[in-house]
Amino acid sequence: MSIPSNPRAVVTGGAGGLGRAFCLELARRGGRMVVADIDAAGAAETVALVERAGGRAFATTCDVAKLDQVERLAALADEQLGGCDVLINNAGVAVGGAVGAVPIADWEWIMGINLWGVIYGCHVFVPRFKQQGRGHVINVASAAGLLSAGEMGPYNVTKAGVVALSETLASELRTHGVGVTVLCPTFFRTNISKSSRTTNNDGARAMVEKLMDRAKIQADGVARVALETADRGELYAVPHADGHWMWRLKRLVPERYYRTIVPKLMGAMRKRTGTTGDQP
C-alpha cells in the first residue's frame, strides 16, 4: 500500500501552499500529476515548477465542491497519465467564529470545499483504486479535526469529518491493497488564512499568522511527512509536535482537556504571539 516509484497523482488545491509542496515532493520521486485548483494561473505556475524539478504535470481548473468537476479529474488522469496511483485531497478553506455568529452561508461554503470536496474525491477515485488493486488516498485534515478548539466550529467540523471518513476508508480498503493516510498538521505558512472568512476580531487572525511563521515544519516538510507516512502504510500523519502532544492529552484526560488545558494553552499562545482577543 506504499506509494510506488514514479507515481501518477491527482492533487487538489495544487496552486500554492501545501498543494504545491506535495506536487514538488512527488516530482522529486519522478511523479506525473494533474494539478487541480480554481486558481488557473497558480496551477500553471506549479506545473512549471514541477517540470523544473524533473516531474511532469498538467494543470486544470476544478471546484472540488462540484461532483462533475471532480469526475473530470479522474477522466483527465486517465487521458494524460493512464490512470492514478495517488489521490491527494488537499483543497481547503477556513472559517472562524462562534457557533451562532458564523453565517450559515459560510458554513455551507466551507462544508462544500473541505468536506464534500474530500467525499467527492473518495467517491470517484476509491472504486477505481479497488478495481486496480492498488492506490493511496491522502486526505488533508488538520489537528483541528482532532482537537476541536473554540471559535473554529465550521473548520473543526469539516476536518473532523475528514478524519472520520479516512478512518472508515482504512477499515474498508485494507483487504483491497489500497492505503489511506489522513494528514493532521497544526500551524505552518499557507495562503488559507488570507482567503478565510471570520467573525472573530483581527487579533485571532494575527495570532494564527504569527504561529504559522514560527512553525519549525513548513509546507515542504509537512508534505514530506505525509508521503513518508503513506509509504509506511500508516493512517495518521501528525507532523507537528504540538499537535501530537495535544492529541495525546485529549485522549488521556478528555474532560480536563476542555475545561482547563485548552484555555491555558490559548492564553499561552496569545502571550507568546503578543495578541489578544477571541480564540482562533
**pLDDT digits 0-9 by tens, 32-88:** 999 999 999 999 999 999 999 999 999 999 999 999 999 999 999 999 999 999 999
Of the pLDDT bands very low, low, confident and very high (cuts 50, 70, 90), residue 280 is very low
Lowest mean pLDDT among 83-97, 187-201, 244-258: 187-201
Number of domains in the chain: 1
Mean pLDDT of 182-210: 66
Q: Does residue 31 fall inside a structural domain? A: yes
Annotated catalytic sites, by residue?
155
Q: Does residue 1 fall inside a structural domain? A: no
- Domain hosting 58: range is 8-273
- How far is Cα 117 from Cα 119, in angstroms, rounded to an integer? 5
Of the pLDDT bands very low, low, confident and very high (cuts 50, 70, 90), residue 264 is confident
- How far is Cα 215 from Cα 240, in angstroms, rounded to an integer? 8
Count CB neighbours of 10 within 10 A.
27
Q: Does residue 278 fall inside a structural domain? A: no
Contact 9, 20 (CB under 8 A): no
- How far is Cα 138 from Cα 163, in angstroms, rounded to an integer? 11
Q: What is the CATH number of the domain that holds 17?
A: 3.40.50.720
- How far is Cα 15 from Cα 169, in angstroms, rounded to an integer? 27
Structure confidence at residue 208 (pLDDT):
55
Residue 274: pLDDT over 60: no
Lowest mean pLDDT among 172-176, 189-193, 212-216: 212-216
Structure confidence at residue 216 (pLDDT):
65
Of the pLDDT bands very low, low, confident and very high (cuts 50, 70, 90), residue 218 is confident
List pLDDT tens digits, range 121-156. 999 999 999 999 999 999 999 999 999 988 889 999
Q: Does residue 36 fall inside a structural domain? A: yes
Q: Any idea what DSSP says for residue 235?
A: S
Look up the pTM and report it: 0.89
Lowest mean pLDDT among 4-8, 98-102, 211-215, 248-252: 211-215
User: Average model confidence (pLDDT) for the chain?
Assistant: 89
Q: Does residue 280 fall inside a structural domain? A: no
Structure confidence at residue 243 (pLDDT):
85
Which is higher by pLDDT, 2 or 170?
170
Structure confidence at residue 143 (pLDDT):
93
Burial class (CB in 10 A: 0-12, 13-18, 19+), 80: middle
- How far is Cα 218 from Cα 239, in angstroms, rounded to an integer? 10
Mean pLDDT of 252-273: 76
Of the pLDDT bands very low, low, confident and very high (cuts 50, 70, 90), residue 95 is very high
Sequence-distant (6+) residues with CB within 8 A of 55 are: 23, 24, 26, 27, 28, 30, 31, 32, 33
